[in-house]
Structure 1
Amino acid sequence: MVKFGGTSLATAAQFKKAAAIVREEEARHYVVVSAPGKRNKEDIKVTDLFIKATEEGQFDSMMIKIITRFRSIVRGLGLDFDLDSEIDRIRNTYRDGAGEDYLVSRGEYLAAKIMAAYLGYDFVDAEEMILFDEKGDLQYKETVARIATVMDPHDNAVVPGFYGKDTEGRIRTFSRGGSDITGALVAAAVKGDVYENWTDVSGLLMADPGIVRNPLTVPVITYKELREITARGTEVMHEDAVYPVRKVGIPVNIRNTDKPEEAGTLIVKNADYYPSILKISGISGETGHASIMVEKDRLNADSDIRTKLLQVFAQEEITVNSMLAGVDTLNVLVDEEQVKGRKRELSEKLRTAIDADKVSITDGLATIAIVSRHMAVSPGVSVRILTALAAEQINVKLLDYGVDGISMLIGIEENNFREAIKAIYSEFVKK
């Protein structure tokens, strides 16, 4: 089961690269595609053109741009493909009230139609298999069962990602990047040996390339590690795409369409059988955090106090990112934007709620998450992280070990953010 992202299908040349990858290995039976992405930094993704087409007065002008993009791809592939008939069908169906999700999903639909024609594979429409309820929530069990039934007669097929159909027969879409989910669902349903996710990067990088120059690719990472690192800002796959393949234990291989010779990153349920060169699996971080410190005698001994504090955060619509407890203190990490201009008011509400001795709010913090499946069994990993920071005279304001023993969250001042990531990376990736 292979999935190609938008950058892998942005032009006819990219379509040819993707098709060559599929043809290179006979075991690649099923293909899921995204809509064509950007051809360059100034370009607009096809999906964004369709979104603009839903705006008042924009339909005709955006459709011209969309037709031009797809016509260029069809001509570049030398295909005898009736694009005009497909566009007419889309235009008429939308004008008959098919809804915005229908129109926004047509980039994937057309890309899949074209890829199927170019490969000589069957086209299987996602609306036949991806099932949503009336609220737009995925019906997981029903979808996997339906995919297995629909795909069974097809030895080789192309499926558009990103959308399906609800119980009322209307097209529904996932959130952006949802083609990853479609690919994972198909992989799970057909019991694939591997789910290859082809994109514009050679796997998961150990650190942000905007901070660390030419960071190494992580060769192997577990599902749990991936979940931890994506929750802290690293974007590789859609978060919900991990669940279907993790549930049935199918490995995910993130590969680069432009560099198919590179192995990429393998995401597995259990990495015990793979040689481990690197002691960490990734470094991820975010700026723009604030720390709320609540102090009260024997605070941690009274569960009602925590409940009251959380009720205040809920009432104020403030999301709690992390919570650390001491004997008499509770340190809550939140997004800085959520407390901006409200520090005095929020402090008073928290103090009043539990008759706290003191409430202090500190902003300008950054968090760095280090993920490592070795952390729980090798104390040297944590020591090396803190030693690397100390060598750069970076003070740790907050420290939290994940409950699974595979991650470590560090809070520091924002002005030390980039240097801290460089220091940790350098400690584990030495010449």
Structure 2
Amino acid sequence: MPGQEAVPAGPHRDLLTALHRLYRLAGPPGLRKISEEIRDSDEFDATLNRNLISSILQGKRLPTALQLDSLARYFASLAAHAGDPKEESRQLTELWMRTQVDPKTIAAAFTPATSVNEALRAASATGDPAPLIKLCTNAAPDRVLKVLGALHERQWVAFAKEVKNSFAETFEPRGIPHLVSEMRLTERYRWSGENILTRFAATRRATESAELVRLFSATGQLGDVLTIMHASFMHAEIAESARLYCAVIEADLRPWTIEDNRGRSPISTKKLVGFAVALTEIGHEASLAPAILQWTPAHRGFQGLTVAVELNRLGYKRQADALLKEALRRGGVRQAKDYLTSEDVTSEDKELFLQVMERNEEPVEPDERMRSFNPQSRDFKSFDIPTEWR
């Protein structure tokens, strides 16, 4: 029976006391005997290996209701001075129910593992990788790699996956760059670093992702900066993506100036439009055009123009003008012509595009060639970008 420091007074200790009473009255039998006789009998609904039985008796693990029933009835069947096995099981189950509404007591009863071997034994006994995850949380990379190596040796593939997935949720931002760098030096985990950054951006708050971006920027790992920002676009709420962008800009970084040599999945037009609206509402409208065009490179066609048209449709005319001007400045008239001749663009969108083209913030007369342009005619001999936009 564990002491008060291991299992303090409360529902869990009451349950453990009653279970140990039956255990002592039963002999007590050895752990192997308990495990084998429960396994070999048809009377019990749950089997337990000896490591799990040991963890339960030491107060390191709460049994499930079926596991408790198996133990209670097994001990009662061996004890000369115990009550009816079913009645003993019923009484213990009532005590067990009280533990389910006292999470603080349960948490206090578990002693965290302090070594890789202890964590492996605990995970094996409980069928839960939680002890391994806890041991890795904010740990030095060498400990993390030792845990992953041990899981690889045992071929515990599911546990290894859960442990690796946990890093993005459990590590403080300051610990991620060192962990990612060390994992990339190990051939087996070369691509795990990218997954950590993607999951971090997808699951953490914008302020935490911004802190991680700052750390990577300080060490010159600018490709990782873009990985985090791209993952935020792809997986986080669009408002969080906008907040992350603003935080990065306020930290004197200009993400659109970073050269990106990694192939990334395209971001949908719908998300980019939502991002532009969110940037406007936050008060970073000045960053809208370069931010949008960062994720709409020339080889992806005229997506930047499409976003401008959608903004115009939603009533964000000033933002649409700024984005279209910058897109055409970078892509030239060829991009505009491609847009207007594309069979994938509706006539309505082509008309909206020309409306944006005809608008100008400066008090100048619209270009007559643009005013008379008919998108259905596909006659581009006289079509050109207004001089003011070049």
TM-score normalized by the length of structure 1? 0.23
Structure with greater strand share of residues:
1
Larger radius of gyration: 2
* Greater relative contact order (Cα < 8 A, sep 6+): 1
The TM-score with structure 2 as length reference comes to 0.25
